[in-house]
Amino acid sequence: MLRPLAVALAATFTTALIIGAPNYAQAAPDTQPARFTQDPYPSTYQVIASAPVLITGATVLTGTGTRLDDADVLMRDGRIVAIGTDLDAPVDATRVDGSGKWVTPGLIDVHSHLGVYPSPGAKAHGDGNESTAPVTANVWAEHSVWPQDPGFLTAMAGGITSLQVLPGSANLIGGRGVTLKNVPATTYQGMKFPGAPWGLKMACGENPKRVYGEKGGPSTRMGNVAGYRAAFIDATEYLNKNGKESTPKKKRWWQSDEEKADSDADSGGKRDLKLDTLAGAIHGDIKVHIHCYRADEMATMLDLAKEFGFKVAAFHHGVEAYKLADRLAAEGVCGALWADWWGFKMEAFDGIQENIALVDRPQNGCAIVHSDSGEGIQRLNQEAAKVMAHAQLAGIEIPPERAIRWITQNPAKSMGILEQTGTLEAGKMADVVLWSGNPFSVYAHAEQVYVDGARVFDRGDRSRQPQSDFMLGQGVPPDSMGVTGGVR
């Protein structure tokens, strides 16, 4: 499947494709938040109170492209205070010896279905695809999230501190995704990342036409594109009719005085949940994430975005992203990709294991390693390591301080949360992982995981290994370890 020569040819072909291409740069959207994104289900997440923590003498990958050896990391009041050498700890700080260990930002998975397709799963909990119509922009993934999914905690043990939970890819427009802090909670709102924008999940190619081909359509790729266009035409008219002021004249912009029914005079017409979401995407307040495999379809979707004035945050899966890596970089679009999944359907056939490395090569390239898997999310660092290894075989050397961005800084950028997390910088959320060694070694594991400075997981402390209620009573008692060979 993969040859260094093929990689070289692919890179050459990619460059050739972009020569003479029109300028697709988008005008920056209005930065004022739209009223279409008011949240009636706000986050109730609260930072867990914790003492200051000083990790000393570790190898630190900041997520900004910098590696610091024998360095310290100080966390206090939920924030990164400083990264450097010989830092002074507050009197009440917990000191953690980082000698021989590595520290990174908390890992971020931009494409997860945890909570909507739990692991282990049951059909009764399979709530990720509303496969009743090709356009379901009205549904929100957060309303399907089951916080007791054991997968959240196995992901935590792999260093995941934040994740975007998306609807599935059955539909042309599948609905809103939600960004979560990976902490135990009774409700999804207790996990909801404060202030994070929603994502809008869209899907190209085979999935929608397979699901709806015998349900009235679309049954072809041209039908897919016609469906997107029709939806965004409606959204454009809705946006023009309703405006996009951030401060409504009424308590709720869609309500009439004295709680009367909606009226054209007051709100421009009855409120429409589908069009709220699409208008929010056009206005730039909802990040657009598109499931798309083929390079030609990604190019079509970029032109669709230009037609209707929205910005694509990331293409997901993107098995052929290497073919238009230069264009993705030029337009500021991330590629959220697998390390080596390919060939499981026709649109996934033309994959190469150097895909992520090639998307990462151009200046301003934004490559992301994602999971789309309840198992892969547990080892996102190892998925990134596979990319590094295959790149090296092709003559592309990628150091750890660059590769770590694929699972920290870049997903945070595409999700609109980079100002809060994704790198180790003073003032940012103290989402931190202490690794037993180089995180890109198959032998390394996350020893401690901090979310907003609180030690939520500790491999050496069973009291810091939270369990879902679903798993209570299903583990192997500690005194039987070594007798049954069971795993806790």
176 phi and psi, to 5 degrees?
-85, 140
Region 179-184: mean pLDDT is: 98
DSSP string across 387-420: HHHHHHHTT----HHHHGGGGTHHHHHHHT-TTT
Q: Could you give the C-alpha distances from 334 to 266, 294, 337, 439, in angstroms and in order?
A: 40, 15, 9, 23
**Start-to-end Cα distance in the chain:** 39
Q: Helices in 309-362 by DSSP H: which ranges?
A: 325-330, 355-360
Tell me, yes or no, whether 463 lies in a domain: no
Residue 33 is predicted with a pLDDT of: 58
Region 453-471: mean pLDDT is: 93
Residue 474 is predicted with a pLDDT of: 73
Tell me, yes or no, whether 81 lies in a domain: no
Output the pTM of the full model: 0.88
Tell me, yes or no, whether 100 lies in a domain: no
The whole-chain average pLDDT of the chain stands at 89
Domain containing 185 — which CATH number? Answer: 3.20.20.140
Tell me, yes or no, whether 84 lies in a domain: no
Q: How far apart are CA 325 and CA 13, in angstroms?
A: 10
- Say if CB 385 and CB 356 are below 8 A apart: no
> Quick one: residue 213, left, alpha or beta (phi over 0 = left, psi -120 to 50 = alpha)?
alpha
**Which of 15-24, 194-203, 386-395, 434-443 is predicted with the least confidence, judged by mean pLDDT?**
15-24
Tell me the pLDDT tens digit for each residue of 394-436: 999 999 999 999 999 999 999 999 999 999 999 999 999 999 9
Residue 68 is predicted with a pLDDT of: 99
CB atoms within 10 A of CB 95: 12
67 phi and psi, to 5 degrees?
-120, 130
Residue 84 is predicted with a pLDDT of: 97
Q: How far apart are CA 203 and CA 135, in angstroms?
A: 10
Report which residue type is found at 75: M
Tell me the pLDDT tens digit for each residue of 44-78: 999 999 999 999 999 999 999 999 999 999 999 99
476 pLDDT band, cuts 50/70/90, is low
Question: What pairing do the DSSP bridges indicate for beta strands 367-369 and 432-435?
Answer: unpaired
Tell me, yes or no, whether 16 lies in a domain: yes
Report the C-alpha dihedral over residues 454, 459, 462, 465, rounded to 10 degrees.
60
Structural domain total, the chain: 1
Tell me, yes or no, whether 52 lies in a domain: no
- Residue 377 domain boundaries: 4-47+107-418
Residue 487 is predicted with a pLDDT of: 35
Tell me, yes or no, whether 275 lies in a domain: yes
In the three-class reduction of DSSP (H, G, I as helix; E, B as strand; rest coil), residue 111 is classed as strand
Residue 343 has pLDDT above 50, yes or no: yes
87 phi and psi, to 5 degrees?
-75, 145
Tell me, yes or no, whether 387 lies in a domain: yes
Residue 475 is predicted with a pLDDT of: 63
Find the largest Cα–Cα distance for the chain.
74
CB atoms within 10 A of CB 398: 20
Residue 187 has pLDDT above 80, yes or no: yes
483 pLDDT band, cuts 50/70/90, is very low
- Say if CB 9 and CB 354 are below 8 A apart: no
According to DSSP, residue 250 is labeled: S
Tell me the pLDDT tens digit for each residue of 364-402: 999 999 999 999 999 999 999 999 999 999 999 999 999
Spatial CA neighbour of 273 closest among 103, 58, 41, 485: 41
